[in-house]
Structure 1
Amino acid sequence: MKHPGVKSVGWALVQSSRLHRSRMGDKLAKLDLFAGQEQVLQALASEGRMTMGELATILRVRPPTASKTVSRLAAMKLVERHTEPGDARVVRVKLTKEGKKKAAAIDELWNEVEEEFLEGFDAKDRKRLRKLLRKGAKNLAKLTGADLEGFDSPEDELDETDDIGPATEPGSNIAA
């Protein structure tokens, strides 16, 4: 039996996304984490200290969602919250030593799942897919008023004459 949306790009995207999240969820469970928590740890590993608002923006979630996840991660001693000197209303979050270890382990898992997902894709296909997904996300972000930061990447510019080279370098985060 075929789903009526089987020829839809959106349907394929949703199915791929669900399967990717499920696969990551299975791997994250081995680190005692749930899907979504890894994104907070990765953002903090990349950016360092962040306010709750900055974290919510980079994750494209509402501040209460970010706050709830940070509370859970703080209870696990993976992140710390500190008020800003001179303005206790501003709370900054940072990784603990244990949080940094988890973030490094997450990067490895992320790359494993990425390789599984993209098996059989050459470097040009990978780059084109990343570029097209960012372009589609940017289109929807404009319509919804979402922050457009992160949708454009100069390395994603691709034309038919590009010679891409090897598929990926070890340890690279392909989905950046």
Structure 2
Amino acid sequence: MAKAEKGAAITRLQSAARLSRTALAAKLLDHGFYAGQDQIMLALAHEDGQTPGQLATRLGVRPPTVTKTINRLQAQAFLEKRASENDARQSHIFLTEAGRDAIRSIEKSVRKTEKQALKGLDKKEQKALAKLLARIESNLAGNSHSEMPEDADDED
């Protein structure tokens, strides 16, 4: 790989990620959601009643960030906190009826953003891209069983 091209893949990946977040944020704002709120809502749609700590772990963010976002979503009447039956110091977060209704809007925004991002790619290219991105995620997560590309040693 030529010296000028080193780092080009990660730069493109970062740019695509930033642009996709920006496009999704614009669509979510139309429904009253701010960046990051969608992830908490979708995590609760998948498994309602998680603790703030569980949500933080699942989303890979710090607990204070989750707590701040939960408080905002609670003020918007999308979530409610309930004390734990086992530990009064702990709370569990649940979607309200309005929150469950809002999930459809979030999912629609995600689908529209994905359609926009994948425009011009056929099904085979989309599948290959998903597979490559999964491998990149695995590599960056430090999973030791991820495979190295066959020509990785030919790059220097």
TM-score range, shorter chain: 0.7 to 0.9
TM-align CA RMSD = 2.1
Runs of 4+ in 1 over 6 A off after TM superposition: 4-7
Q: Deviations over 1:20-55 (max 9, x none)?
A: 111111111111111111111111111121111111
SS class of match (1:88): coil
1:134-173 matches, cutoff 5 A: 134-142=134-142
Higher helix fraction (1 or 2): 2
- Equivalence for 1:104: 104
In structure 2, C-alpha distance between the alignment counterparts of 1:106 and 1:35, rounded to whole Å: 11
AA of the residue aligned to 1:125: E
- Equivalence for 2:68: 68
AA of the residue aligned to 2:21: R
Q: Deviations over 1:94-150 (max 9, x none)?
A: 10000111111110111011011001112221122112112112212128xxxxxxx
1:58-97 matches, cutoff 5 A: 58-97=58-97
Judged with a 3 Å threshold, the aligned counterparts in structure 2 of structure 1 residues 6 and 98 are, in CA distance, closer, same or farther, namely farther
- Equivalence for 2:41: 41
Q: Deviations over 1:42-91 (max 9, x none)?
A: 11111121111111111111111111110110111100111111311221
In structure 2, C-alpha distance between the alignment counterparts of 1:29 and 1:133, rounded to whole Å: 27
In structure 1, C-alpha distance between the alignment counterparts of 2:119 and 2:6, rounded to whole Å: 21
**Unpaired runs of at least 5, structure 1:** 144-151, 153-176
More displaced, 119-128 or 88-97? 119-128
**Unpaired runs of at least 5, structure 2:** 147-156
Q: Is the 8 A contact 1:5 1:11 kept in 2?
A: no
> Offset of 1:7 from its aligned partner?
6.5
In structure 1, C-alpha distance between the alignment counterparts of 2:102 and 2:96, rounded to whole Å: 10
More displaced, 129-138 or 76-85? 129-138
> Offset of 1:6 from its aligned partner?
9.0
Structure with larger Rg: 2
1:114 matched to 2:117: no
Matched pairs, number: 142
AA of the residue aligned to 1:12: R
AA of the residue aligned to 2:110: W
